[in-house]
Structures are given as structure tokens and as C-alpha cells.
Structure 1
Amino acid sequence: MALSDDDLDVLLGDLESDRIERKESAGNTDKIAQAICAFANDLPGHRLPGVLFVGVRDDGTPSGLDLTDQLLQNLASFRDQGNILPPPSISVRKTELRASLSRRSSCCRATPRR
């Protein structure tokens, strides 16, 4: 299920939940892995993708994180590291979202593996 920028804007403007997580930076890889693992396992049974916004504060405003190609590759590499079971289906993209005041944020979408 592909999410449009409009879908992502709605999710970014919503509260954090078992489908939505925000991170100001990508420095705490353990927390990022935990979020991706939770999205992949989909314990609540939503059967909908979870979205991790990187470069966004808890209140939905941009943190000013420089979203480099290397950062995007690092986020995508969680798929193949073998530390998350089941292996997640992840798509990573850099996008401008209205809810983040037209600043770029990175979206890491993990689809449930059921």
C-alpha cells in the first residue's frame, strides 16, 4: 500500500501511535530498529503500514536534520541487517510535507509481514 504525500501529511499531523513514530535525529539506531520491528510485527493487527518520520520533533515540526543520501541508505539498511524479525518490508524516501512547514523529512514506511 503506497502512501501519498497527502496521506503522510495527515499522519505527520496526528499524534504518535502504534503506527506513527517521530525522531529528531537518526542517532539512536536502537530506537529506530524498535519502531521498525513494531511496525513489521503489527501486534495491534491494523494491517496498515507504520511510518517513521526522521528529522521531525515530537510536535511535528522539523528538527533541521540534514537528510543526506547516506542517511537514507542507513535507514534502508535496517531491512537487510538481520536484526529485525520478521525481516521488514521498508521503503525510505525524502519528501516535503506541509505539516512539517515545508521542510524536508524522511519517511521510513514498514509494512506488516503477516
Structure 2
Amino acid sequence: QEVALLGAESADVADTRFKMGQCLMYLERPKDAVEQLKSAADACTAVKGANDPATTAIQTTLVSALFAAGDATAAEALYNGTVRPALTAAGDATALAQADVQLAADLSKH
């Protein structure tokens, strides 16, 4: 029961921090967004695993935040090392294509 409670708490933390990160991106505060999104990704990974679609969604947003914060090296490393393999493993060609388009857009801006 305690493990289930911790899992639910971590899922809530992940969801809340993900929403905060998205808001901070909208407010053009990418460095603050990066911190929230990293925390959200860690919490979601702990609960759902690294290849869960929710974790991948958070990490995809984190890639954009890292680019916006000026850390293209970390953004590309996260995308190529984590996000792209997770999308490939999930077999979601549409999500993979969308993520590739977003990466290209982020690269062109920075």
C-alpha cells in the first residue's frame, strides 16, 4: 500500500511539474522550465518507466526547453539518446515524425 501511495504521489508530482514547465515555456522562461521538466521526467520515469508515453511526452517538451535555454548539446543528447529510441520502441511512427519535425524546428531557431 505504501508503494502504491508513493507511486501516486510521484505521478502527481510529474503531472504538476510538467504543467508548470509548459507554463514557464509559454511565459518564455526556459531555464525555469528546464528544472520543472527535469523533475517531472524523473518522477514519471520512477512511476511509469523510461519508455512510457507520458515520460516520453515530458522529455520531448524538455528537449524544446533545453534548446530555448541555449543548451543545444544537452537537448540533442536527450533527444537522440532517450526520446527517439523510446518513440521508435513504441512503434509510433506518427509521434516519431512529429518529434523529428519539432527537433528540426528547434534546431533552426538556435
TM-score with structure 2 setting the length: 0.30
The higher relative CO (CA closer than 8 Å, separation ≥ 6) is in 1
Higher helix share: 2
More strand by share: 1
Higher CA-based Rg? 2
Q: Scaled by the length of structure 1, what TM-score is found?
A: 0.29
